[in-house]
Amino acid sequence: MTGVTVDAGAAVGAGQSAGSGGRVPVVPGFARWPVDGSPKAEGKALRQRVARSAHAGFEADAGRPGAVAAVEESNLGRIPELTPIRVGRMAATPFAFMRGSAGLMAHDLARTPMTGVRAQICGDAHAANFGLYGDARGGLVIDLNDFDETAPGPWEWDLKRLAASLVLAGREAGCDEDSCRDAARDAVGAYRRTMRLLAGLPVLDAWNAIADEELVSHTDAHDLLGTLERVSEKARANTSGRFAAKSTEPGEEGGRRFVDAPPVLRRVPDAEAAAVAASLEQYLATLSEDRLPLLARHAVHDVAFRVVGTGSVGTRSYVVLLLDHRGEPLVLQVKEARPSALVPHLVEAGFQAPEAEHEGRRVVLGQKRMQVVSDILLGWTTVAGLPFQVRQFRNRKGSVDPAALAADQMDDYGRMTGALLARAHAHSADPRLIAGYCGKNEELDEAVAAFAVAYADRTEADHAELVAAVRAGRIAAEMGV
């Protein structure tokens, strides 16, 4: 890899404020102004090391693992009886395969050009990992919403994964190739323009910029309005109360308990349930103290195991039913946090990957670094020696299915997600630096769009290999679950 590594806190330095006459002490963690050099100029200079057009290329290397081998490796450490469900979900479509193969794509991205600029990255920023969720005041926020793979790394990896996923989603939706490529190119263009906008704002304004009610106008995503309104309406009804009403029954001694609905939801032995419930004491210590009275007004009533996601299938994931004094439910998800699949590939690419002291903590802090607003009950714990993250379950979550969009909506969705990704990266990387590299013209947009098409072709070949292996009985799959 060629390039430089620029940490998020690179501007922090020693010295005294300009014009202070020596009266103002140096405060660790704060910048010294004015700083030497220009982040925008530094970003522009990076083009001499890594041309923006260089991002167009992709060629699988000779040591690349096959699709089946990559899936089998990613299944290690998961619950064996659930891995066929995961394989079945990945075998459904090429886009579904991509959703479950973040590690394989990280292997490929580690061999592509990088500027060396570091940000907190999602690590799995495909088009279906953006969505709506509730804030503390009952409103809806739209942002990235899955951070299992988050780590400090190259911003380009998230952008390329998003662009390639848009091509695959568009193909699944039946869009023509021009529409698919346009969606990828427009996502990169929106990322570039948003980063430039953020670079020109006062820091505090940039930190909270692009309010969700302005997002459609900012990204010219007006064709998405109807879809977003329908998703928002569903999200408002997607609550703990609704889930509990469908998934629980009155208990023998009062309260409520979960009802078996295999293979997705199942009751667990008393000892396992007790271990999960007991872990909530450690979880409370990871929350801000002002959250504790809220949880103290609820009592734990039941614990069940629930299968989730595509990439997450086979990991240990529980739902915990809490009830308040009126019997109103609050459901928490206690989800196993495995090491990020990106870490070995980040190290291979020359990025230092500090060892996580707790994988749940890594996920939670990464999420908080990238989102403008995060779940107020986000925390972590340990169950039977394994790390878990804890969050609200069904917190008015909703999402757009990119594989079901019309052709005239794909580019709108690309622009919207590209802008959201820029906002997320700008919380940890200086937007002036990235904006300086991306520039004003469409050179980067066209390059990454070309990469996206090539990588979508590669993913379709990987998916075909997995499907053939399933049909031949080489790997077990349970379809349609």
Rounded alpha-carbon distances, angstroms, from residue 13 to 32, 34, 36, 119, 434: 6, 11, 10, 19, 21
Q: State the pLDDT at residue 7.
A: 44
Cβ-contact 43, 432 below 8 angstroms: yes
The whole-number pLDDT of residue 353 equals 76
Which amino acid appears at position 255 of this protein? G
Half-sphere exposure of 330 (CA within 13 A, CB side): 16
The amino acid that residue 367 corresponds to is: Q
DSSP class of 259: -
Query: Encoding tokens for residue 126?
Result: 């495909």
Please tell me the distance from the alpha carbon of residue 276 to that of residue 332, in angstroms, as a whole number: 11
- Paired tokens of 205: 């304004």
User: Structure pTM?
Assistant: 0.93
Q: One digit per residue, pLDDT tens: the chain, 481 residues?
A: 444 444 434 333 333 334 444 577 888 888 877 777 899 999 999 999 999 999 998 999 999 999 999 999 999 999 999 999 999 999 999 999 999 999 999 999 999 999 999 999 999 999 999 999 999 888 999 999 999 999 999 999 999 999 999 999 999 999 999 999 999 999 999 999 999 999 999 999 999 888 888 999 999 999 999 999 999 999 999 999 999 999 999 988 888 999 999 999 999 999 999 999 999 999 999 999 999 999 999 999 999 999 988 788 989 999 999 999 999 999 999 999 999 999 999 999 999 877 889 999 999 999 999 999 999 999 999 999 999 999 999 999 999 999 999 999 999 999 999 999 999 999 999 999 999 999 999 999 999 999 999 999 999 999 999 999 999 999 999 998 8
- What are the sequence ranges of the domains in the chain? 43-227+400-471
Predicted pLDDT at 366: 97
Predicted local confidence at residue 309, as pLDDT: 80
Give the three-class secondary structure for 255: coil
Give the model's pLDDT for residue 13: 34
Query: Where does 164-282 show beta strands of DSSP type E?
Result: 248-250, 256-258, 265-267
Residue 22 is predicted with a pLDDT of 58
Q: Give the N- to C-terminal CA distance of the chain in Å, as an integer.
A: 41
Position 31 scores a pLDDT of: 81
Tell me the β-bridge partners of 154.
118
Q: Which string of DSSP letters, residue by residue, matches 13-26?
A: --S--TT-TT-SPP
Here the tokens at position 68 are 């089946």
pLDDT at 18: 41
Q: Write out the E strands in 259-351.
A: 265-267, 299-306, 317-323, 329-336
Which of helix, strand or coil describes residue 62?
coil
Specify the amino acid at residue 28: P
How high is the pLDDT of residue 233? 95
Question: What are the C-alpha distances in Å from 271 to residues 200, 246, 274, 323?
Answer: 56, 25, 5, 21
